[in-house]
Amino acid sequence: MSQVASSETSRDYDVVVIGAGPVGENVADRTRAAGLSTVIVESELIGGECSYWACEPSKALLRPVLARADARRVPGLAKAAAGPLDVAAVLAHRDEMTFHWDDGNQVKWLESVSVDLVRGHARLDGPQRVSVTTPQGDTVLLSARHAVALCTGTTTALPDLPGLDTTRHWTSREATGADHVPGRLAVVGGGVVAAEMATAWQALGSQVTLLVRGDGLLHRMEPFAGELVTEGLREAGADVRLGVTVTAVKRHGGDDGEVAITLDDGSDLVADEILFATGRIPNTSDVGLHSVGLTPGDWLTVDDSCQVTAVSDGWLYAVGDVNRRALLTHQGKYQARIAGAAIVARAKGGQVHTDRWGPHTATADAAAVPQVVFVDPEVASVGLTTHEAQQSGRRIDVVDYDLARVSGAHQYAQGYQGRARILIDADQRTVAGATFVGPGVGELLYSATVAIVSEVPLERLWHAVPAFPTISEVWLRFLETHRG
């Protein structure tokens, strides 16, 4: 592997990958391992959003919070866990998990798999061509014999608010990378980022006010998930306000002054920092889409091998969040494995398998998308929600169970509170969806994912015996409840 020097103005490769986050890294790894010469282009840190500003730092902040919450429910530990978190230690751990925002180890990994690296801003420059503006202001032209893979992810979607453009504010990056605990933090949004960051900073010492435009948190999940998370945040001391919209913001006294927030109900709120967790937009506004007939700023529509459908000759791929199929790191990496295999097969003149379970066909990013929300109580879901099942027209049996009635839950925590639901396809007699809310439920998710993806018949699930006493015993209780 080599870092392409600015003086090398033009180079040819089999594959050019734009974006060196986990998705781009996985595409490059697959194509290079199959013998295709591959270069990856990145304008920021190798490792991408997940490694430095999203998954890794956010979970580093949340892990001590959730561990303390669990310990407080365990006899013999509750008193020891009653005190405040060591904020300096938590932030130091976060810094270690991000390698102090240094990508040296990731560069070494690229070297180990013989993928070339160009640092700079990449733009498509017509079919199978990429122009890179380096940090030094030079231009490097890259040509792709077989494929270009756009793995540029997303960026924060900000609302059109009076005063926002002149007000220093937090996005998810500042929320995960902050070096101080704000006394008062306003969080705008009701999705995963909003819920997780509200959980983290309230526990770290902020007085959090969560401003949710809709009537509940986590609106893409089962309603009971958002209800239980709202209760948990309020019990932790956060002020959760539902059905409110921010209409204006202004920071008084310079960048370090207070933020005045105006709400649509006529009330005002003052905070030290304001975090906007109001959705994501594709990072495609300045990647040269116009040069291949596409609209800058658009999501990119792809087929099941992640080929962009609107570009002829099949050379352009869009992998990960940028194609909007499933905005999750693990799903993007899954797509990367599919796309990498498809690129290799097409480059070598082999057969591209587009059947349902073929190695070149992405299906899990639509049929069974697992997700954990690291809040208190924890939320884990995969497959359809009840609303989605109803919209699909399938005949669905809804099976609910109180997790507090599972023996393993009593071992996990005193006064355990949680709820679980599975959806059963009444015709196929298989699991179509699952949602779990409660301490420690994230570890239930893979079993649910396997059941859905493998379409395991209920009759077979009876023979998958859960260990006693664990929370996974809920699977037996589901089957018993459904059988009646």
pLDDT tens digits, residue range 380-404? 999 999 999 999 999 999 999 999 9
- What's the confidence (pLDDT) of residue 362? 81
Domain boundaries, the chain: 10-47+103-155+282-364, 164-278, 377-483
Q: List CB contacts of 392: < 8 A, sequence separation 6 or more.
A: 384
Nearest of 268, 246, 253, 225 to residue 375 by alpha carbon: 225
pLDDT tens digits, residue range 307-358? 999 999 999 999 999 999 999 999 999 999 999 999 999 999 877 777 766 7
Q: Kindly list the distances between the CA atom of residue 124 and the CA atoms of 200, 247, 261, 388, in Å, as whole numbers in the listed order.
A: 39, 38, 41, 37
156 with 283: CB under 8 angstroms? no
Rg (CA), the chain: 24
Number of C-alpha atoms within 13 angstroms, CB side, residue 36?
29
Q: Indicate the pTM of the whole model.
A: 0.94
pLDDT tens digits, residue range 196-206? 999 999 999 99
Domain 164-278 has CATH 1.10.287.1040: no
- Encoding tokens for residue 444? 């239930």
Distance, in Å, from the CA atom of 422 to the CA atom of 436, rounded to the nearest integer, reads: 9
What is residue 335's three-state secondary structure? helix
Mean pLDDT of the chain, nearest integer? 94
What is residue 147's three-state secondary structure? strand
Judged on CB neighbours under 10 Å (0-12, 13-18, 19+), 293 is: exposed
Q: List CB contacts of 333: < 8 A, sequence separation 6 or more.
A: 22, 23, 26
Q: Determine the length of the chain.
A: 484
Class of domain 377-483: alpha beta
Distance, in Å, from the CA atom of 197 to the CA atom of 172, rounded to the nearest integer, reads: 8
Distance, in Å, from the CA atom of 69 to the CA atom of 78, rounded to the nearest integer, reads: 9
Task: Find residue 149's DSSP bridge partners.
Answer: 17, 317
100 with 234: CB under 8 angstroms? no
Q: Token pair 């913001």 is at which residue?
A: 249
362 with 341: CB under 8 angstroms? no
Q: What is the mean pLDDT of residues 104-128?
A: 97
Q: What is the mean pLDDT of residues 218-232?
A: 97
Pick the CATH number of 10-47+103-155+282-364 from 3.40.50.300, 2.60.40.1120, 2.30.110.10, 3.50.50.60: 3.50.50.60
Domains 10-47+103-155+282-364 and 377-483 share a fold: no
What is residue 126's three-state secondary structure? coil
